[in-house]
A = this chain, B = another copy of it.
Amino acid sequence: MSGAELTLVGDEHRHLVRVLRAAPGDRIVAVDGAGCAYDAVITAISRQDVRCSIEGRHPRRHELPVSVTIAAALLKNPGRFEIVIEKATELGVARIVPLRTERVIATSARVDRWSAVALAAMKQCGRCLLPVVERPVDFGAFIGRGAPAGLRLIPHERAALPLDEALKGHGEQDVVVCTGPEGGFTEGEIALASGAGFIPVRLGDRRLRAETAAVAALAAVMLAVS
């Protein structure tokens, strides 16, 4: 794809011209959010766009070797749910599924806001794949037919198997982590998930906040699959 052109418009155009004061000849790194990073050289700048010549193409640069999904229950405190979105993006997840579980007491679904948080985090951490933030789904529907194949993990405070044990020998499987709301999962939900092949795992001996459990589990998954 050397020799190909890239045209940047909108926010990226404004950021390059007004904030970075870019000029023709400058080298930049651009990402398409679909899994590819590009080394490029600016060839022309107009009031509408920045044109670049692509000099190198790097599929999956800074991406995990497997696809990781986080299915996280909606949280009452929207700021804490945004922490999950931001940190999940930094830790390399490909897909974020907000869940409605029995004990969820959140009402608002702010998919546009969450996607903006993921976009900002993607750029900040140097990824080239923008995680997909889906619309909220019911826990049962996700467990029944929405969850991808792979190593399926559900952190739960009464589980016996430590997460790091469950991650040993994950091979090259994709991973999905399902985390609960402030009040946790019900026993019925854990049974439903277990029936669908989700492994209940333990994250130490303390009662972690919902967003801490999500971030801690994803950190361990990221290190195990890297």
Residues of A80-94 at the interface with B, using a CB-CB cut-off of 8 Å, are: 83, 86-87, 90-92
Interface digits, A65-99 against B, CB 8 Å rule (1 contact, 0 not)? 00000000000000000010011001110000000
* Residues in chain B near residue A86, CB distance under 8 A: 209, 212
Closest B residue, CB atoms, query A224: B164
Instruction: Assess whether A205 is interfacial by the CB under 8 Å rule.
Output: yes
* Residues in chain B near residue A216, CB distance under 8 A: 91, 215, 219, 222-223
* Residues in chain B near residue A164, CB distance under 8 A: 223-224
Selected interface stretch from A23-31, A101-109, A124-132, A188-196? A124-132
* Residues in chain B near residue A126, CB distance under 8 A: 206-207
In the complex, what's the smallest C-beta–C-beta distance from A76 to chain B, in angstroms? Answer: 14
Contacting pair B87 A206 (CB below 8 A): no
In the bound complex, CA of A63 to CA of B162 (Å) = 16
In the bound complex, CA of A124 to CA of B222 (Å) = 27
Closest B residue, CB atoms, query A62: B205
Closest B residue, CB atoms, query A83: B83
Identical chains in the assembly: 2
Instruction: Assess whether A226 is interfacial by the CB under 8 Å rule.
Output: yes
Contacting pair A124 B209 (CB below 8 A): yes
In the complex, what's the smallest C-beta–C-beta distance from A125 to chain B, in angstroms? Answer: 4
Q: A204 contacts which of B162, B203, B207, B222 (Cβ < 8 Å)? A: B222
In the complex, what's the smallest C-beta–C-beta distance from A157 to chain B, in angstroms? Answer: 10
* Residues in chain B near residue A162, CB distance under 8 A: 223, 226
In the bound complex, CA of A223 to CA of B90 (Å) = 20
Instruction: Assess whether A163 is interfacial by the CB under 8 Å rule.
Output: yes
Contacting pair A91 B204 (CB below 8 A): yes
Contacting pair B90 A125 (CB below 8 A): no
* Residues in chain B near residue A141, CB distance under 8 A: none
Contacting pair A204 B226 (CB below 8 A): yes
Chain A interface (Cβ < 8 Å from any Cβ of B) = 62-64, 83, 86-87, 90-92, 124-127, 162-164, 203-209, 212, 215-217, 219-220, 222-224, 226
